[in-house]
Amino acid sequence: MSIQVKKAGLLTTVQDLGRVGYQKYGVIASGAMDPFALQAANMLVGNEPSAPGLEMTVLGPTLEFDAPHLISLCGADMTPTIDGTPVPLWRPVLVQPGSKLQLGSVKSGCRCYMAVAGGVDVPLTMNSHSTYLRAGIGGFHGRQLKADDELPVGRASTVGERIEAKLLRGGNGAGIGGGAHGGARDRAFSAAAWQPTSRMMPAYSRDPDVRVTEGAQQGLFDADTLDAFVASDYKVQPQSDRMGYRLAGPDLHMRERVELISEAVTFGTVQVPPDGQPIVLMADRQTTGGYPKIAQVISADLPLMAQAAIGANVRFRFVSLQEAQELNLIMQMELEQLQLGIRIHYI
């Protein structure tokens, strides 16, 4: 079973939840920029939340399916269609053999994730399926996808098989798809009528309000600078990538120039290089850094940051560490409940 890449899109890579345990060797974590969307996508097709899927950036790929595949698309809206019919996001979708899934330019957001039941079947490198582009390892041959690639697909879980079977029978709200008449087999695809409750979704927005906690060197910045940091829009610059978001806005000044000793940085660290323009470190960040850290994006809002497109205006707001922890726990528990709910429903 495999998926044919007809067009690769701008930057399509295989990602899971990252390379855990190797940062002490200087190996970057990588993984999905929007871990919420990837996890949700996996759960909708019966996968473990950490299964490898596709991260599609700004302009999506065109994929052809040689066999029936259960997929889901979560995250940015790239106006996906299968054989010309619009496909809903955030739902399990059974695609029939010979169908073509086409994703266009993003209408909202920046990255869309595709999970397929069984996961994209690529080998583990240092305990992860994630693509580490600069080192050329992990994912699909260590690189972004290109036309004519053939993506191997793993074996669907029991839950995945059940969801697939139900969509094939056309029961339980299935039936969105090309060709209004006839059985599921005659349509290009059938999508489930249900989706995760909107209550659990991150507050995705074109110009997101991103909550942050104090950075370790926040004290090096004067009060006016900290006021400006939260009172102003910071615009996402074109040089932003999976490594970090470069932002433009009022300069962030340190009270005095201090040489710092390098230490660990993490997903969401907001650091300020000497030019005063902040950088938010993302999935492909280096493991350590020496710039002062003014703030730290809370885990629950990393999806909002990851879906900010070039030109988006980001507004930061400080919250307490306690609130950040609560929001993170809630997000993780809700993802757990989604997985549990799907399992209970289908088994």
Partner 1 sequence: MLPLGDCAVLVQLGDNIDEVTHTKVRLLADYLDRHPFEGMVEYVPAFTTVTVYYDSLRLYRSYLQETADGDRIAAAAAAPASRLNAGGGGIEAEEEAYPYHVAVERLKRILRDIAVTGVSPPRMVEIPVCYGGEFGPDLEEVAERNGLSVEDVIEIHASGEYLVYMVGFAPGFPYLGGMSSRIAAPRRSTPRLAIPAGTVGIAGEQTGVYPIETPGGWQLIGRSPLALFLPEQSPPTLLEAGSVVRFYPITRAEYDRWEGRGL
Contact between 107 and 78 (Cβ < 8 Å): yes
Helix/strand/coil for 195:
coil
Residue closer to partner 1 (CB basis): 66 or 241: 241
Pick the piece of the chain touching partner 1 (CB under 8 A) from 62-70, 129-137, 158-166, 251-259.
129-137
* Binding of partner 1 by 329 (CB under 8 A): yes
Minimum CB–partner distance for residue 77 and partner 1 (Å): 26
- In sequence order, the 6+-apart residues with CB closer than 8 A to the CB of 314 are 207, 208, 210, 233, 234, 235, 236, 245, 247, 305, 308
Q: Is 231 in the site for partner 1 (CB under 8 A)?
A: no
Asked whether position 255 contacts partner 1 by CB under 8 A, the answer is no
Say which residues have a Cβ less than 8 Å from residue 197's Cβ, sequence separation at least 6: none
Residue 296 and residue 265: Cα distance in Å, rounded?
Answer: 10
Distance CA 268, CA 285 (A): 9
333 binds partner 1 (CB under 8 A): yes
Q: Contact with partner 1 (CB under 8 A): which of 21, 86, 171, 183?
A: 21
Position 137 contacts partner 1 (CB under 8 A): yes
Any contact of residue 238 with partner 1 (CB under 8 A)? no
C-beta closer to partner 1: residue 9 or 138: 138
| Nearer CB in complex with partner 1: 105/262 | 262
Binding to partner 1 by residue 254, rule CB under 8 A?
no
- B/e letters for 103-125, b = 16+ CB within 10 Å, e = fewer, are beebeebbbbbbbbbbbbbbeeb
Which parts of 260-289 interact with partner 1 (CB under 8 A)? Answer: 261-269, 286-289
The yes or no reply on residue 296 touching partner 1 (CB under 8 A) is yes
Calpha distance 140→29 (Å, rounded): 17
Interacting residue ranges for partner 1, rule: CB under 8 A: 20-28, 125-126, 134-135, 137, 213, 216, 261-269, 286-289, 296-299, 321-322, 324-326, 328-330, 332-334, 336-337
